[in-house]
Structures are given as structure tokens and as C-alpha cells.
């Protein structure tokens, strides 16, 4: 059962929003991963998706996630769950979202998903980064604006994670030296493109097929970055269907050699995993570093 203060806070919000008493009539736990407890809540106005965690351990996490979801939704390109409400009560913080009815992957799913991601990536900005920091998983993600992608990627992505791993003893001085050799080579490595609105954590666990037969993306770490970061992340823990990449490239062609660049982008999520789960991921990091330096 969800904590009673949480239930009361949600019912209070729904009462104010609908100007009538709204009760939670049922609740069902859903796999929420290692950070959050996740639930389907049934109410007199319909179902919602709820997740909650320790407010002190992850300050403002749900506010930042809500802002990311709203930013992605504003692009009008791909389905994201609507943000209903977020708040904290006692030791718990929570995020209440539209409940997305799960569906199944049917013919044409991957092609439409690729086309819609391409549409999302056509939303641009004047700089790489964001006007606020947010989270990548349970780690703080830094988004200080930069006007060039290599500078942003090195300073706001790789250097932050390498410093954390070094301080925790998860990475040695020899590996740090390999990163230091890599950084200057990135100035001419990436295609020069305008900043693109990206999901930021687009692995196979952060999209779902919904009842309409289309894709929805969830749990973002959104910012304006190089669009190939989403493509790279989609290959990290089991690639999407080949039809997805073909459709994306037809809708918004990537520059030649994009497959060769994916490993470099994935150094960031791999280092996040090193810092979250230990040095077991360092083998993949070292393989990439040695390939490029």
C-alpha cells in the first residue's frame, strides 16, 4: 500500500482540481526500478501512474522530471505521459502522471517511432544544455549552456563522471589519462549541427508501446544536445529494430559514419553506470577509449 500521507495529498490535489471529492479506489504496484516505487492508482476520475521516492535522497528529482516531460510534450512530436501533479509529503516525494495503457508492438511500430523521434530532434535551441540541471538515473546531470557540442560533452558529461569515479576509486589514473587524451580529439569528431531536443536516456526500458499502437517515451533526462546521443543510447543495452534506424535516417538523415560515433556518445551513460553500480562497466569504457586513443 502507498503511504497514507501520499494518498491524502493526491486526493486533496484531485479534489481541488475537480472541485469535488475524488477518492483513490484501487492501487496496484508496478515495477519501478531501483530508485522509485511505482503504482497504478485507480480513482473516481480514472487511472493514474504514481511514482515516489525519498525526498531527501533525490532533491527536486520529480520536479525536474516533470519539466523534462513537459518540454518533450511541447514539441508535439511523440507521445509522453501528461504531468498531472508533483509534490512532497513527509519523507516522500511523488510524481503523478497520466496512466498509459500498455499495448503491443505491431507492424509499422518501429518505422513510426523512428519518424517521430526524428521530428522531436528537429526542435532546436540557441545552445547545448538546458536552463536547469536535472537527473540521469539517480545521478545529478549538469546542463550549463555551451555554444559548441564538444565543449559541452567533455565538460558537462565526461569530466563530471570521470571526476566522480576517480574520487570513489572506481577508475584509475591510467584510465583518467586515456580520457585526457581523448578530449582534444573530439573537436573535429562530431558533425556540426544545431542543438536538438533529446530524450537523453533513450534505452529499451524508457519507451513503451501504448494501446494506440504507437510509441511513448518515459523517464527522460532531457536537454538540448547532439541528436546522435539518443541514437547511441538506443543501442547500448540491446538495439532497437533495424526498421527504427532506417525510418529515422529517411526522415532526418545522419551524416556518414554515424555508426562509428555511437561508442563515443555512450561513454557518458557507461560512466554513469560505473558511478551507480561499480567498476564492472569499466571493461566497456576501456575498450572504447583504447579504440579511439
Both 133 and 207 in one domain: the answer is: yes
Q: How far apart are CA 259 and CA 257, in angstroms?
A: 5
Both 145 and 213 in one domain: the answer is: yes
Q: How far apart are CA 153 and CA 147, in angstroms?
A: 11
Domain that includes residue 114, residue range: 109-292
Domain final residue pick, 40, 72, 98: 98
Of the pLDDT bands very low, low, confident and very high (cuts 50, 70, 90), residue 280 is: confident
Q: Does 71 map to a domain?
A: yes
CATH number, domain with residue 206:
3.90.1200.10
Q: List pLDDT tens digits, range 165-216.
A: 999 999 999 999 999 999 999 999 999 999 999 999 999 999 999 999 999 9
Residues in the chain: 293
* 243 neighbors 117 (Cβ within 8 angstroms): no
The number of folded domains in the chain is 2
* 115 neighbors 248 (Cβ within 8 angstroms): yes
**Taking residues 228-235, what's their average pLDDT?**
97
pTM: 0.95
Both 197 and 58 in one domain: the answer is: no
Both 146 and 226 in one domain: the answer is: yes
Both 162 and 287 in one domain: the answer is: yes
Q: Does 92 map to a domain?
A: yes
Both 144 and 210 in one domain: the answer is: yes
pLDDT at 279: 73
Q: Which of the following is catalytic: 37, 87, 92, 201?
A: 201
- What single-letter DSSP state applies at residue 157? I
Both 47 and 149 in one domain: the answer is: no
Both 123 and 188 in one domain: the answer is: yes
201 is a catalytic site residue: yes
For 83, the 3-state DSSP assignment is: strand
Both 116 and 243 in one domain: the answer is: yes
Domain final residue pick, 50, 65, 98: 98
Q: Does 256 map to a domain?
A: yes
Domain final residue pick, 64, 98, 132: 98
Q: Does 122 map to a domain?
A: yes
CATH number, domain with residue 77:
3.30.200.20
Quickly list DSSP for 88-132. Answer: EETTEEEEEEEPPPB----TTHHHHHHHHHHHHHT-B-SSBB-SS
**Taking residues 219-224, what's their average pLDDT?**
97
Q: Does 103 map to a domain?
A: no
Q: Does 104 map to a domain?
A: no
Q: Assess whether pLDDT exceeds 70 at residue 33.
A: no
Both 218 and 83 in one domain: the answer is: no
* 225 neighbors 152 (Cβ within 8 angstroms): yes
Q: Does 49 map to a domain?
A: yes
pLDDT at 32: 59
Q: List pLDDT tens digits, range 86-125.
A: 999 989 999 999 999 999 999 999 999 999 999 999 999 9
Both 9 and 83 in one domain: the answer is: yes
pLDDT at 238: 82
Q: List pLDDT tens digits, range 118-154.
A: 999 999 999 999 999 999 999 999 999 999 999 999 9
**Taking residues 234-262, what's their average pLDDT?**
95
Of the pLDDT bands very low, low, confident and very high (cuts 50, 70, 90), residue 1 is: confident
Q: Does 179 map to a domain?
A: yes
Both 31 and 72 in one domain: the answer is: yes
Amino acid at each position: 500500500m502507498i503511504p497514507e500521507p501520499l494518498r491524502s495529498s493526491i486526493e486533496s490535489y484531485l479534489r481541488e482540481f475537480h472541485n469535488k471529492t475524488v477518492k483513490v479506489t484501487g492501487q496496484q504496484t508496478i515495477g519501478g526500478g531501483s530508485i522509485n516505487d511505482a503504482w497504478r492508482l485507480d480513482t473516481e476520475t480514472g487511472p493514474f501512474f504514481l511514482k515516489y521516492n525519498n525526498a531527501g535522497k533525490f532533491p527536486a528529482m520529480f520536479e525536474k522530471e516533470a519539466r523534462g516531460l513537459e518540454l518533450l510534450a511541447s514539441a508535439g512530436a511523440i507521445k509522453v505521459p501528461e504531468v498531472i501533479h508533483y509534490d512532497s509529503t513527509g519523507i516522500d516525494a511523488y510524481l503523478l502522471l497520466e496512466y498509459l495503457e500498455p499495448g503491443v508492438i505491431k507492424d509499422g511500430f518501429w518505422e513510426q517511432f523512428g519518424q517521430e523521434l526524428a521530428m522531436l530532434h528537429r526542435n532546436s535551441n540557441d545552445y547545448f544544455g538546458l536552463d536547469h540541471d536535472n537527473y540521469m538515473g539517480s545521478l545529478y546531470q549538469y546542463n550549463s549552456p555551451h555554444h559548441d557540442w564538444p565543449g559541452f560533452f567533455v565538460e558537462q558529461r565526461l569530466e563530471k563522471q570521470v571526476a566522480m569515479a576517480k574520487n570513489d576509486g572506481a577508475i584509475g589514473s591510467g584510465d583518467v589519462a586515456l580520457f585526457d587524451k581523448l578530449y582534444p580529439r573530439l573537436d573535429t569528431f562530431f558533425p556540426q549541427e544545431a542543438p536538438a531536443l533529446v530524450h537523453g536516456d533513450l534505452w529499451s526500458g524508457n519507451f513503451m508501446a501504448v494501446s494506440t499502437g504507437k510509441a511513448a517515451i518515459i523517464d527522460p533526462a532531457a536537454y538540448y544536445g547532439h541528436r546522435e546521443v539518443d541514437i547511441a543510447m538506443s543501442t547500448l543495452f540491446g538495439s532497437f529494430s533495424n526498421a527504427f534506424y532506417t525510418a529515422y535516417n529517411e526522415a532526418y538523415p545522419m551524416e556518414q559514419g554515424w555508426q562509428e560515433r555511437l561508442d563515443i556518445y555512450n561513454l557518458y551513460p557507461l560512466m554513469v553506470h560505473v558511478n551507480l553500480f561499480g567498476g564492472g562497466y569499466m571493461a566497456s569504457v576501456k575498450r572504447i577509449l583504447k579504440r579511439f586513443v
